[in-house]
Chains A and B, each alone.
Chain A
Amino acid sequence: MIAFGNHPLKIPADARRKTKRSGIGMRKERSSRSAVELLPAIRMNCRNSWRRYGGKYMSVSGIHLVSWFVCVICLLGGLSAAFPAVAGDLREKPDIGDDTMLMFVGEDLEVLTIASRREESARQAPAVAQVVTRRQFQQAGADSLAKVLEGLPGFHMAPKEWGTRPYLRGIPDSVLLLHDTAPLSSDISKSFHPLDEDLSLAGVKRIEIVRGPGSVLWGPDAFAGIVNVVPMTGKDFSGIETGLDYGEPGFQRGGYLNMGRDGGPWNGFLSISGQAGEADDSLCRVTRFWGDGDTPVPPEDRIGSDRPDEARHVEAVGNIAVEDWLTLSGRIADSRGEYALRSEDELSWCEGRDYRTGMLKAEARKTLNHLSSLRWTGYLSRLDIDHQIIDRTLTQRETTFYTELIHDRALWSGDGLLTGGVSYREKHVADALVWEGYFPDYLKPDNAFLLPLVAEVDYDTRLMSVFGQYNHRVADFHLWIGLRYDDHDAYEDRLSYNAGLSWSPSNAWIVKLIYGTAYRTPFAKQLRDEDRLELEYIESLNLQFAWTPSERVSFGVCGFWNRLRDHVMEDPYAGLSSPNRQDIKGLELEGRYLPIPSLALSANLTLMDNSGPDEAFRLLVGTFVDADGNVVKIYEDLDNPYDSGPLALANVAAEWKPTPGFVGRLELGYTSSRHLVFPRGEGDAATSDIWLLDASATFEDLPGIGGDVTVTVRNALDHRYDTPGTYAFMEGDPASVRIMFRKKW
């Protein structure tokens, strides 16, 4: 019998799938015989192993690609023929010599691009949409995307040892995070969310948020919502801006440099930022483990004393645009964070993640006439993740190529707008880690011989899509309907759709009824293990009412009903759950009131409830070889409740602007208690309600200095609380203070 505790040594039965075994010492082994040597050393590229899913063959992808683009060309050609305007003559824009846009200088034009793939006001957008401007998040003292989102309805930013795990409307890891419309998330790990210092807000113009599924226009993973970080351009900022910040505890320090130039026919922008500081001062007791790669370090030699190194983040974002037709942009970032993990057995060890990411994007736009335009977007991105676990580092890589072509056309004398497009995406994932067993068990003193089982998986996925959305305005009503067909080579094809209706009889109020669907790409482990994947799927119904009777009062309420199907949860102990269903319904309320012009009071409240069966895990607790040489696996069934995060969230804020040069802000955040299940099923526990008070003050144009200073205090009352970590509870962030100085030159 080969079994250790209740962590299994799994023998893959399906030799068709080839996985690089990184058993002992993470070697990409080709041989075998030892505790894990019974595992056949199989190595095969999943590119080949996934040729057959749903009766399709990937080898035809190239043909598909060509066929699709031929179709697009034909489609556009047909449109040109059908609509003479498309083929109309294209002349240079005449200079009409008017300075009307100067009248709107500095005004918030409140546009977003992610609801319809074109600029429109958030209020009119066919989605539950919101925009947070640069000025708003700077005055709130928000120095990370997580800090911006945690104050919005529906969002919960759960602190973890390695960063922040986002929940939106009761669904973890469900937000499609975009930077300049290019995804930042990864197929390697659903826990990769650059929400903290690893995504700088120094060069960000605004943040666009859509709550609700968006697969029709954004494809897979626009599951419960979309967040798009929009960088500044040379048109938004001309000159040089610098910023320095300092914070405690942890000697946090950072700085940035923004440079923008509007040169008439061209404009460019570059932002360089850096951040360093101690992120975690916990003690790591297990300091050596991986040994020689065949057996771990003897238990008596593993214990020592160490602390995580400083975190550091460096990022550069830039773009250059020629007229309005061509934009080149890019982002490179190197982010390293170390942290301590602790198990329920009080074992602690250090881990670290080093993300190196690069993205190069090109956009071209051609206005064919007043009624139609063509937009092409293409980007290439690369993500390398070095995952350091005690004294061993594992590297995973993901390369993505994406291209899309979108055609807009106004119909019915401008009352209708048709947006149609095709896209192609190709992802290459190398060495994605698939863990077996429960890692903390291997660290225990009674394990002298075994190393954790980690498979390193290579796979490629290709996705071709055709999509369209039609908007039509009739009197005070706005209707829209959208459809998307995704042709996957690695898993089943998907049809996503949405429909909605908004009614705005006056500028004061608007009602939106929205229905939409979305799905998610599978976990790497699913791709490796499952013969036939059922993709996680969501249907969502939203009813929103927004009322703004005057500049001083606004109120909004949005009810939502999310229906999850075939969703899968990941547990560090029990692995992936069986596909399950959940229904989540909730209510989001928000309001703003200015009792006097210099004081703005705002509040939001999110209430949720979920229903559905518990998540069923099939846990492999042991594997042995019987007398006949057959491998026998022993499973145990575990049922855990669905992890919806806190079911009640609230924020109350007061913003005071007594003079033009000062903004003071107090914000009280509430997170309800969470019912938790220990992964081993040894009982359950609940966290307490959490109340956190944040305060910030911004002094603009300081006399004699000529810059802005923002002082932010988080958890001002130094409330001590526990929050769920990866393997055990962890302490929440204590009181902290940060000072930011910005100056424009």
Chain B
Amino acid sequence: MNPPFIIIDRVRDALRCVAAAASVFFAVQLAWAIWSPGVSGQENPFRVAVVVSMNIRPYFEAMEGMRKALGDSPDIEIKSYVLSDDASGGEASLARKVFADAPSALVGIGPEATRFVFNRPFDGIRLYAMVLHPEKIIDPEAGDACGISLQVPFAAQIRIFRQTFPDIRRIGLLYDPANNGDAEAAISAADGNGAEIVSLPVSRREEIAEALRRNWAKIDGLWLIPDRTVITESLVRYIVKEAIANGVAVLGYNRFFFESGAAMAFVVDYEAVGIETARSLLNRRAGEPCFSMAPPFKAWLNMPVTEALGVRKVHPDTSEVEVKP
């Protein structure tokens, strides 16, 4: 017989043995868990329970970042729990599981997980990550709310955009007033950076085309912020396309905007969010104060689009901007 296949046979036999042994092991473990659900493992490890909202790549990357950053701490034990996206009222049961191990810290990745972590009594360290608006989720009475959000500060966005495109002064802001209280924050952030915000409020998607058509001549740039009326995949493509056709530079907030033709897009590094969350956790553990922080991000400058638009740009002397040819 071909020597590799002898090896394969042996590996296969070994795997069968492993599979059989694993089956027995897991069966015993399962039975043990049923009869002794409160069994504990190591002595006095610093247990971190990470609750993840759902199985999507950005959350996985943040989780990986956490594991990577905490991997050098042998006394830290991480356990993860993945919620489904339609997590319902069985939280009490999950809470029993989470707290059965007496975790020293709870981390929520994603909004649902954050709500789970913060909206119940807990004396240990609590952190959130990968949430756009943590303040809308966390009970205001929870005084220790801190973590890494997904919101790139509006002031930073407009500052970098204005530094890069000094000639773009009139910036349209497309939003639905019913959805987004962020618009006011964005407008006030623009004030301090010499930009004039042209509000483009819409209450329905059908109004977007008309709102833009009436205002193309009044704006040099268009700022898109997370808004459930304005932001869908097809709408983003449409808006960016129309903006380019009207000579308007678009400012977006993830790589899809960039790929669709935005002149600049702020791209969050999800793994770095996990790493920063882990660092915050270690700081908290060391007794340092708690902060709510913005995510690590880069501003991607879309050179072909800016050249096509003919807009003057200044390469900012900052590592926050990455020029993409």
Partner of A105, one of B82, B91, B100, B256: B256
Contact pattern, A 361-398, Cβ under 8 Å of B = 1, otherwise 0: 00000011111010000000000000000000000000
Partner of B228, one of A102, A369, A515: A102
Give the residues in chain B near A703, CB-CB below 8 Å. Answer: 245
B231 at the interface (CB under 8 A from A): yes
Q: List 8 A-B contacts (CB under 8 A).
A: A99-B180, A100-B111, A100-B130, A104-B254, A105-B233, A370-B94, A561-B5, A658-B304
Partner of B8, one of A90, A370, A563: A563
Separation in Å of the A660 CB from the closest CB of chain B?
4
Residues of B within 8 A of A (CB): 2, 4-5, 8, 11-12, 15, 18-19, 22-23, 26, 29-30, 33-34, 49, 55-58, 60-61, 64-65, 67-68, 79-94, 96-98, 100-101, 110-112, 115, 130-133, 136-137, 150, 179-180, 226-228, 231-234, 236-238, 241, 244-245, 253-257, 259-261, 268, 271, 302, 304-305, 308, 324-325
> Are A84's CB and B93's CB within 8 A?
yes
Separation in Å of the B145 CB from the closest CB of chain A?
14
Give the complex CA separation of A410 and B82 in angstroms: 9
> Are B23's CB and A481's CB within 8 A?
yes
Give the complex CA separation of A30 and B199 in angstroms: 83
User: Residue of B at shortest CB range from A81?
Assistant: B34
> Are A106's CB and B254's CB within 8 A?
yes
> Are B325's CB and A598's CB within 8 A?
yes
> Are B253's CB and A541's CB within 8 A?
no
Partner of B90, one of A102, A106, A371, A598: A371
> Are B57's CB and A110's CB within 8 A?
yes
Give the complex CA separation of A415 and B49 in angstroms: 11
Inter-chain pairs besides A85-B90, A415-B79, 14 sampled, C-beta below 8 Å: A85-B93, A85-B96, A92-B88, A96-B111, A102-B227, A103-B132, A107-B254, A109-B57, A370-B84, A373-B84, A412-B33, A413-B98, A481-B26, A744-B238
> Are A410's CB and B111's CB within 8 A?
no
Give the complex CA separation of A539 and B5 in angstroms: 12
> Are A121's CB and B55's CB within 8 A?
yes
> Are B226's CB and A102's CB within 8 A?
yes
Separation in Å of the B264 CB from the closest CB of chain A?
13
A497 at the interface (CB under 8 A from B): yes
Give the complex CA separation of A88 and B131 in angstroms: 28
A65 at the interface (CB under 8 A from B): no
> Are A744's CB and B234's CB within 8 A?
yes
Given A104-B58, A596-B325, A661-B261, check contact A90 B22 (CB 8 Å): no
Given A85-B90, A109-B57, check contact A98 B111 (CB 8 Å): yes
Give the complex CA separation of A393 and B94 in angstroms: 61
Separation in Å of the A225 CB from the closest CB of chain B?
19
Separation in Å of the A658 CB from the closest CB of chain B?
6
Give the residues in chain B near A91, CB-CB below 8 Å. Answer: 88-89
Separation in Å of the B178 CB from the closest CB of chain A?
12
A118 at the interface (CB under 8 A from B): yes
Give the complex CA separation of A604 and B195 in angstroms: 50
Give the complex CA separation of A585 and B302 in angstroms: 46
A-B contact count (CB 8 A): 224
Separation in Å of the B65 CB from the closest CB of chain A?
8
Give the complex CA separation of A658 and B179 in angstroms: 37
User: Residue of B at shortest CB range from A110?
Assistant: B57
Partner of A413, one of B81, B85, B245: B81
> Are B88's CB and A367's CB within 8 A?
yes
Separation in Å of the B182 CB from the closest CB of chain A?
9
A120 at the interface (CB under 8 A from B): yes
Give the residues in chain A near B227, CB-CB below 8 Å. Answer: 99, 102
> Are B304's CB and A414's CB within 8 A?
no
Give the complex CA separation of A539 and B19 in angstroms: 15
Separation in Å of the A212 CB from the closest CB of chain B?
14
Give the residues in chain B near A659, CB-CB below 8 Å. Answer: 304-305, 308
> Are B234's CB and A237's CB within 8 A?
yes
- Looking at B12, B34, B238, B260, the one whose CB has the most chain A CB atoms below 10 A away is B12
> Are A371's CB and B93's CB within 8 A?
yes
> Are A413's CB and B79's CB within 8 A?
yes
> Are A111's CB and B57's CB within 8 A?
yes
Residues of A within 8 A of B (CB): 82-85, 88-93, 96-100, 102-111, 118-121, 124, 237-239, 323-325, 367-371, 373, 410-416, 470, 472-473, 476, 479, 481, 483, 497, 499, 504, 506-507, 515, 539, 541, 561, 563, 583, 585, 596-598, 611, 658-661, 701, 703, 706, 744
Give the complex CA separation of A506 and B68 in angstroms: 7
> Are B87's CB and A541's CB within 8 A?
no
Give the residues in chain B near A239, CB-CB below 8 Å. Answer: 234
Separation in Å of the A450 CB from the closest CB of chain B?
47
> Are A583's CB and B241's CB within 8 A?
no
Give the residues in chain A near B271, CB-CB below 8 Å. Answer: 507
> Are B83's CB and A370's CB within 8 A?
yes
Separation in Å of the B322 CB from the closest CB of chain A?
9
Separation in Å of the A75 CB from the closest CB of chain B?
13
Give the residues in chain B near A410, CB-CB below 8 Å. Answer: 81-82
Give the residues in chain A near B23, CB-CB below 8 Å. Answer: 481, 483
Separation in Å of the B307 CB from the closest CB of chain A?
9
> Are B232's CB and A105's CB within 8 A?
yes
Give the residues in chain A near B226, CB-CB below 8 Å. Answer: 99, 102-103
> Are A105's CB and B231's CB within 8 A?
yes
Give the complex CA separation of A111 and B82 in angstroms: 15
> Are B90's CB and A103's CB within 8 A?
no
User: Residue of B at shortest CB range from A704?
Assistant: B245
Give the residues in chain A near B68, CB-CB below 8 Å. Answer: 506-507
CB-CB nearest 7 A-B residue pairs: A369-B90, A106-B256, A91-B89, A85-B93, A414-B81, A370-B94, A660-B261
User: Residue of B at shortest CB range from A372?
Assistant: B90
Give the residues in chain A near B90, CB-CB below 8 Å. Answer: 85, 88-90, 367-371
Give the residues in chain A near B30, CB-CB below 8 Å. Answer: 411
Separation in Å of the B14 CB from the closest CB of chain A?
10
User: Residue of A at shortest CB range from B91?
Assistant: A370
Give the residues in chain B near A473, CB-CB below 8 Å. Answer: 80
Give the complex CA separation of A479 and B19 in angstroms: 10
Give the residues in chain B near A82, CB-CB below 8 Å. Answer: 34
User: Residue of B at shortest CB range from A323?
Assistant: B86
User: Residue of B at shortest CB range from A551?
Assistant: B255
- Looking at A99, A324, A476, A585, the one whose CB has the most chain B CB atoms below 10 A away is A99
Give the complex CA separation of A585 and B4 in angstroms: 9
Give the residues in chain A near B137, CB-CB below 8 Å. Answer: 96-98
Give the residues in chain B near A506, CB-CB below 8 Å. Answer: 64, 68
> Are B93's CB and A93's CB within 8 A?
no
Partner of B60, one of A121, A479, A539, A701: A121
Give the residues in chain A near B92, CB-CB below 8 Å. Answer: 88-89
Partner of A98, one of B11, B132, B236, B238: B132
Give the residues in chain A near B80, CB-CB below 8 Å. Answer: 414-415, 473
User: Residue of A at shortest CB range from B21?
Assistant: A481
User: Residue of B at shortest CB range from A122?
Assistant: B57
Give the residues in chain A near B179, CB-CB below 8 Å. Answer: 99
Partner of A597, one of B11, B55, B324: B324
Give the complex CA separation of A504 and B233 in angstroms: 32
Give the residues in chain B near A370, CB-CB below 8 Å. Answer: 81, 83-84, 87, 90-91, 93-94
> Are B82's CB and A499's CB within 8 A?
no
Partner of A93, one of B86, B133, B237: B86
Partner of A100, one of B22, B132, B254, B305: B132
Give the complex CA separation of A598 and B304 in angstroms: 10
- Looking at A88, A325, A563, A658, the one whose CB has the most chain B CB atoms below 10 A away is A88
> Are B2's CB and A611's CB within 8 A?
yes
- Looking at A90, A410, A414, the one whose CB has the most chain B CB atoms below 10 A away is A414
User: Residue of B at shortest CB range from A118?
Assistant: B55
Separation in Å of the A551 CB from the closest CB of chain B?
10
Give the residues in chain B near A414, CB-CB below 8 Å. Answer: 79-82, 97
Give the complex CA separation of A373 and B253 in angstroms: 34
> Are B55's CB and A479's CB within 8 A?
no
> Are A539's CB and B94's CB within 8 A?
no
- Looking at A369, A411, A472, the one whose CB has the most chain B CB atoms below 10 A away is A369
Separation in Å of the B76 CB from the closest CB of chain A?
12
